[in-house]
């Protein structure tokens, strides 16, 4: 440290998020007593404009040359405070973030005194670190102005079209032979009564005809290496591999329906099908003739197997119930010109289409399609029931549809997880045994078909993409964004973006909006033309290096080579700053910029000295 450190400490109340637990004024007074601290204050919200201007002003007024902000998490807010420092003429590497919200006030809500002590110590550690930081210069690296979008469902197509419209070449890679993803299964799109295929086809046409989109069907991205602005990818089309270079990657790999194995007679009785199978039948006009059917909601979700609520299924069920109530003659194929239907000839067998689809599923044993029963005469009314735990018709118009559906005499019957309906078979009917909560009695319902609303689940091979791109998955196997609220379509890794159902259940408008959002985020580095990666790179002290080559052997990015003098040398553009070489160097000749041994040890050791006051 050439100059004397003059540290400013800014402690954030974050409204009551921090201030409600940690005694912020006390922490500020303590910070003032720390060595090299010449200024300390608190802000209601340090990230708000008055907080930021207080940082800028104090840097100038107090001649600060180091800044510590004690607030939320560097994962979301470090860039903001770093650029604030830069605006005031302070190199952004002379800044340290201390997390006293996520890792203090929020996790010690009932221990206010010791949380305050902890906040003091964390700030003490931050001050010990910031004193030792050195300014760093960042290099600019050119961005290859093109993108790859993985997945050709609605989200991926929306992203690809948006990027292509902005003038960037896009490779759209779809694993299936057709575009459209999950939406290809669907019959009608909500409300509009438009066939999903029709709505899709305009999107598909735009993708296929766009001069900026290179479409790879029946293909997969099998390898990706590099960093923002400079990715080398390999696209595999039926064993034929093509290398390519792109600047950004958009992940839109979609989701699957949950298979309710062993639940509610699925695969045991014909005509117990999933909501998606129902959609396929409706789309292909292959619904069997029915006089009654029941939907069962939350099958396999909300704790039955998956923990989460898939949230779109209630609306999908409402849509189908409404359609059936209004339009059942058409949906069941009973409308023939000029003919009045007197009765519905009920069919019991599972339609061939669904049997085929189930057989095609990997690892699933073959099953014989049930024999067709003879059609029978039934009343000229379609009875619809929806067994639910609670209907969550989120969205502006869907609650009204829920009410309308009730007016159409669709019966909504509640069940609790302790008392789930039971499905059996009696004669040629399916029987639902259920506990009627209002009547407080056990009841029976006979139906021709049961539709199980199962959640969307993560692609089983999302793990492979997660490993290939080094982006995380959440506990349920969906991709995990950088921040659920503030960075919903970014990954924590710069240059990789995520949209659509691969990050969690979403309906079509949401998936499209996410696709467009991911495209606009991805377009930022593409339009700017360069990136300025953080200067967290290793540096070799050539006087100390013995040329043993250990670091060269273990560097995951081949970023180290032996130079003409026989000592190790770092290729700055390739170094990602993991620090493996620094920890390995037998001569301690490798210094990790911004994470030196001294800086790490000083920060940690500061915690070992007791706090007074």
Q: Are 435 and 424 in contact (CB under 8 A)?
A: no
- In the complex with another protein, which residue's Cβ is closer, 165 or 494? 494
Spatial contact of 508 and 194, defined as CB atoms under 8 Å apart: no
Token digits of residue 157: 């197509």
Q: Given the rule CB under 8 A, which of 132-140, 175-183, 207-215, 469-477 is the region that contacts another protein?
A: 469-477
Number of Cα atoms under 13 Å in the Cβ half of residue 589 = 19
Task: Single out the residue of 79, 303, 472, 509 in contact with another protein (rule: CB under 8 A).
Answer: 472
Tokens of 288: 């069997």
The secondary element (H helix, E strand) that includes residue 413 is: strand 411-414
**Residue whose CB is less far from another protein, 202 or 558:** 558
Nearer to another protein, 112 or 406 (CB): 112
Q: Which of 13, 66, 77, 108 is in the footprint of another protein by CB under 8 A?
A: 108
What is the closest distance, in whole angstroms, from the C-beta atom of residue 88 to another protein in the complex? 24
CB closer to another protein out of 215 and 538 = 538
Among 80, 109, 139, 443, binds another protein (CB under 8 A): 109
Give 114 or 237: the residue with its C-beta nearer to another protein.
114
Segment contacting another protein (CB under 8 A): 305-313, 323-331, 447-455, 467-475? 467-475
- Nearer to another protein (CB atom), residue 486 or residue 527: 486
What is the footprint of another protein within residues 171-190 (CB under 8 A)?
A: none
Q: Percent helix, strand, coil in the chain (nearest 5)?
A: 30, 25, 45
Q: Which one of residues 41, 91, 393, 493 is an interface residue with another protein (CB under 8 A)?
A: 493
Question: Minimum CB separation from another protein for residue 71, in Å?
Answer: 12
3-state secondary structure of 263: coil
Token couple for 192: 């509009």
Q: Does 592 bind another protein (CB under 8 A)?
A: yes
Smallest distance, another protein to C-beta of residue 490, A: 13
Near another protein by CB under 8 A: residue from 125, 200, 384, 518: 125
The residue whose two tokens read 């013995």 is 546
Give how many residues touch another protein by CB under 8 A.
Answer: 61
Q: Which residues ranging from 17 to 76 are in contact with another protein (CB under 8 A)? A: 73-75
Does 611 contact another protein by CB under 8 A? no
| Residue 292, strand partner residues | 383
| Among 42, 54, 99, 297, contact with another protein (rule: CB under 8 A) | 99
Please say whether the dihedral angle defined by the alpha carbons of residues 351, 357, 360 and 366, taken in this order, is positive or negative. negative
**What are the counts of helices (DSSP H) followed by strands (DSSP E) for the chain?**
15, 30
Measured from the CB atom, the residue of 345 and 474 that comes closer to another protein is 474
Q: Please state at what angle helix 24-32 crosses helix 112-132, rounded to 10 degrees.
A: 30
Q: Which residue has the tokens 């021709």?
A: 448
Distance from C-alpha of 440 to C-alpha of 114, rounded to nearest angstrom: 51
Q: Nearest distance from residue 234's CB to another protein, in Å?
A: 17
According to the binding rule CB under 8 A, does residue 161 interact with another protein?
no
Closest CA to 410 of 392, 438, 383, 431: 383
Q: Tell me if residue 475 falls in helix, strand or coil.
A: coil
Q: Classify 451 in phi/psi space as left (phi over 0), alpha (psi -120 to 50) or beta.
A: beta
Beta bridge partners of 216: 173
Which C-beta is closer to another protein: that of 207 or that of 531?
531
Out of 438, 608, 612, 613, name the contact with another protein by CB under 8 A: 608
Nearer to another protein, 196 or 469 (CB): 469
CB of 545 to another protein, least distance (A): 12
Query: Whose Cβ is closer to another protein: residue 372's or residue 605's?
Result: 605
425 or 595, CB closer to another protein? 595
For another protein, the closer CB: 93 or 328: 93
Binding segment toward another protein, per CB under 8 A, in 44-52, 99-107, 230-238, 564-572: 99-107
Comparing CB distances to another protein, the nearer of 439 and 608 is 608
CB of 13 to another protein, least distance (A): 16
State how far the Cα of 288 lies from the Cα of 354, in Å rounded to an integer.
Answer: 11
Cα gap 141→592, rounded to integer Å = 20
467 near another protein, judged by CB under 8 A: yes
Q: Least distance in Å: CB of 591 to another protein? A: 12
Distance between CA atoms of 509 and 396, rounded to whole angstroms? 13
Q: How many angstroms separate the Cα of 480 from the Cα of each of 15, 251, 466, 506? A: 27, 11, 10, 14
Judged by CB under 8 A, which stretch of 59-67, 381-389, 444-452, 600-608 contacts another protein? 600-608
> At 411, phi and psi to the nearest 5?
-90, 130
State the number of CA atoms in the 13 A half-sphere of 534 facing the CB: 16
Compute the distance between CA of residue 351 and CA of residue 403 in angstroms, rounded to an integer.
32
221 and 235 in contact (C-beta within 8 Å)? yes
User: Which 532-591 positions form the footprint of another protein (CB under 8 A)?
Assistant: 536, 548, 550, 553-554, 556-557, 576-580, 582-588
Phi, psi of 148 (to 5 degrees): -120, 135
User: Closer CB to another protein, residue 527 or residue 604?
Assistant: 604
Of 88 and 607, CB closest to another protein = 607
Q: How far apart are CA 522 and CA 156, in angstroms?
A: 13
Inter-residue contact 463 to 480 (CB < 8 Å): no
Residue 106 C-beta: closest distance to another protein, Å: 4
Residue 550's SS3 state is helix
Gap between the Cα atoms of 100 and 68, Å rounded: 12
Q: How far is the CB of 129 from another protein (least distance, A)?
A: 8
Q: Which of 226, 345, 395, 474 binds another protein (CB under 8 A)?
A: 474
CB 66 within 8 A of CB 36: yes
Taking CB under 8 A as the rule, does residue 603 contact another protein?
yes
What is the contact surface with another protein in residues (CB under 8 A)? Answer: 73-75, 99, 101-104, 106-111, 114-115, 117-118, 121-122, 125, 466-467, 470, 472-475, 480, 484, 492-493, 536, 548, 550, 553-554, 556-557, 576-580, 582-588, 592, 595, 597, 600-601, 603-605, 607-608
């Amino acid at each position: 440290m050439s100059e004397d450190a003059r540290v400013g400490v800014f402690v954030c109340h974050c409204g009551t998020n921090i201030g409600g637990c940690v005694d912020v004024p006390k922490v500020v007074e303590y910070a003032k007593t720390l060595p090299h601290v010449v200024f300390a204050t608190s802000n209601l919200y340090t990230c708000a404009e008055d907080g930021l201007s207080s940082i800028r002003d104090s840097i100038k007024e107090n001649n600060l040359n180091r800044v510590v902000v004690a607030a939320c998490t560097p994962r979301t807010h470090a860039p903001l405070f770093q650029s604030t420092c830069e605006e005031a003429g302070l190199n952004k590497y002379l800044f340290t973030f201390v997390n006293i919200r996520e890792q203090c006030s929020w996790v010690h809500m009932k221990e206010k005194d010791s949380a305050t002590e902890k906040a003091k110590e964390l700030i003490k550690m931050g001050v010990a670190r910031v004193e030792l930081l050195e300014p760093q210069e960042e290099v600019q690296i050119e961005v290859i102005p093109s993108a790859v979008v993985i997945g050709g469902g609605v989200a991926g197509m929306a992203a690809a079209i948006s990027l292509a419209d902005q003038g960037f070449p896009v490779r759209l890679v779809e694993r299936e032979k057709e575009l459209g993803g999950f939406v290809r299964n669907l019959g009608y799109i909500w409300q509009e009564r438009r066939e999903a295929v029709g709505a899709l086809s305009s999107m598909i046409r735009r993708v296929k005809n766009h001069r900026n989109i290179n479409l790879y069907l029946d293909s997969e991205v099998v390898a990706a290496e590099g960093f923002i602005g400079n990715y080398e990818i390999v696209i595999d089309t039926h064993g034929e591999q093509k290398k390519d270079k792109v600047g950004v990657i958009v992940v839109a790999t979609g989701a699957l329906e949950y298979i309710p194995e062993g639940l509610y007679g699925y695969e045991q009785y014909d005509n117990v099908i999933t909501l998606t199978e129902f959609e396929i039948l409706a789309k292909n006009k292959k619904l069997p003739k029915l006089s009654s059917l029941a939907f069962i909601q939350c099958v396999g979700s909300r704790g039955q197997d998956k923990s989460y609520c898939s949230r779109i299924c209630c609306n999908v069920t409402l849509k189908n119930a409404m359609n059936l109530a209004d339009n059942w003659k058409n949906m069941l194929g009973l409308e023939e010109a000029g003919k009045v239907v007197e009765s519905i000839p009920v069919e019991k067998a599972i339609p061939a289409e669904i049997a085929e689809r189930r057989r095609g599923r990997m690892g699933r044993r073959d099953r014989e399609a049930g024999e067709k029963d003879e059609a029978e005469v039934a009343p000229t009314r379609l009875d619809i029931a929806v067994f639910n735990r609670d209907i969550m018709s989120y969205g502006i118009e869907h609650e009204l549809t829920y009410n309308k559906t009730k007016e159409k005499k669709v019966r909504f019957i509640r069940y609790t997880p302790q008392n789930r309906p039971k499905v059996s078979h009696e004669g040629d009917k399916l029987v639902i045994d259920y506990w009627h909560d209002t009547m407080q009695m056990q009841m029976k319902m006979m139906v021709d078909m049961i539709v199980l609303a199962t959640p969307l689940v993560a692609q089983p091979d999302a793990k492979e993409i997660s490993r290939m791109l080094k982006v995380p998955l959440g506990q349920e196997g969906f991709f995990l964004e950088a921040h659920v609220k503030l960075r919903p379509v970014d990954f924590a890794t710069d240059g990789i973006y995520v949209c659509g159902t691969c990050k969690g259940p979403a309906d079509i408008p949401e998936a499209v909006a996410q696709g467009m959002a991911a495209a606009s985020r991805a377009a930022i580095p593409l339009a700017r033309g360069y990136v300025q990666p953080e200067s967290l790179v290793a540096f070799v002290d050539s006087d100390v290096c013995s040329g043993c080559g250990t670091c060269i052997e273990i560097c995951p990015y081949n970023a180290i080579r032996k130079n003409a003098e026989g000592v190790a040398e770092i290729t700055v553009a390739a170094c990602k700053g993991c620090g493996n070489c620094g920890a390995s160097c037998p001569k301690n000749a490798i210094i990790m910029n911004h994470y030196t041994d001294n800086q790490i040890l000083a920060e940690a050791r500061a915690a070992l000295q007791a706090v007074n006051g």
